[in-house]
Amino acid sequence: PQGSEKAKTFVHTFLKRSMPKMKDEAIQDMLTRKAVVLEHYPKKRIKQKRKKTKGFTAKQRRELRLFEIEPEQQRYAIFLPLHELWKQYIRDLCHGLKPDAQPHMIQGKLLKADLHGAIVTVTKSKCPSYVGITGIILQEFKHVFKIITKEDKLKVVPKLNNVFSLELDGFISYIYGSKFLLRASERSAKKFKLKGTIDL
């Protein structure tokens, strides 16, 4: 029958079980109303963390010899098409290297450009044996350039204490290796100070 103690106890217990987070006072307040709306508490979903794909470590890259150029591939003529592509890339980057172009603007773009395929010459060095080395840059690392010369010799030239020059369409640019100790991917985001320097 309506209003019996058993009915009240049942409804109170049912509400308590259905809404475990609700206090007794709140349940009693709900019972004084004509209609009772049962709330639903969905279970919290646990987000699964995405596993990041791990690349090779430096040790694994060395063991796999990923960056080594095979002796039969160490020929200057093979990389001349790469140099032609690089020249076109720089012309597009600098909008044609026109005679009226401002040198510091071109210099700023070259500092951030990809140098793989560029022909460079070591013009100054604290080690005299490096001076005069000319060739196409095959690989650029944080501290060294790997250059293939016309004599089909692969030279590893450190950036530190060396000054490099590169020429394109009559425009000659100098790169101070000591200020260039960055990976190619890092240079594109770095802000270079366009101040002259005489330090090697």
* C-beta atoms surrounding 52 within 10 Å: 6
* C-beta atoms surrounding 192 within 10 Å: 13
List the one residue out of 97, 76, 95 whose CA is nearest residue 155.
76
Q: What is the pLDDT along the chain (200 residues), one digit of tens a residue?
A: 455 777 777 777 877 787 777 777 776 776 666 555 656 667 777 777 777 767 788 788 778 877 788 888 899 999 999 999 999 999 888 877 777 777 777 778 888 889 999 999 999 999 999 999 999 999 998 899 999 999 999 999 999 999 999 988 888 888 888 888 888 878 777 776 655 555 66
pLDDT, residue 30, reads: 67
What is the spatial distance between Cα 58 and Cα 55, in angstroms, rounded to a whole number? Answer: 9
pLDDT, residue 195, reads: 58
pLDDT, residue 100, reads: 72
List the 154-158 sheet strands across, edge first.
154-158, 144-149, 134-140, 119-125, 162-168, 171-176
pLDDT, residue 107, reads: 79
Q: Which domains does the chain have, with CATH numbers?
A: 1-32 (no CATH), 74-189 (2.30.30.210)
Cα angle value 66/64/153 (rounded, 5°): 45
pLDDT, residue 34, reads: 54
pLDDT, residue 199, reads: 61
pLDDT, residue 104, reads: 77
pLDDT, residue 18, reads: 76
| Matching residue, tokens 């009240």 | 8
pLDDT, residue 78, reads: 94
Query: pTM score > 0.75 for this model?
Result: no
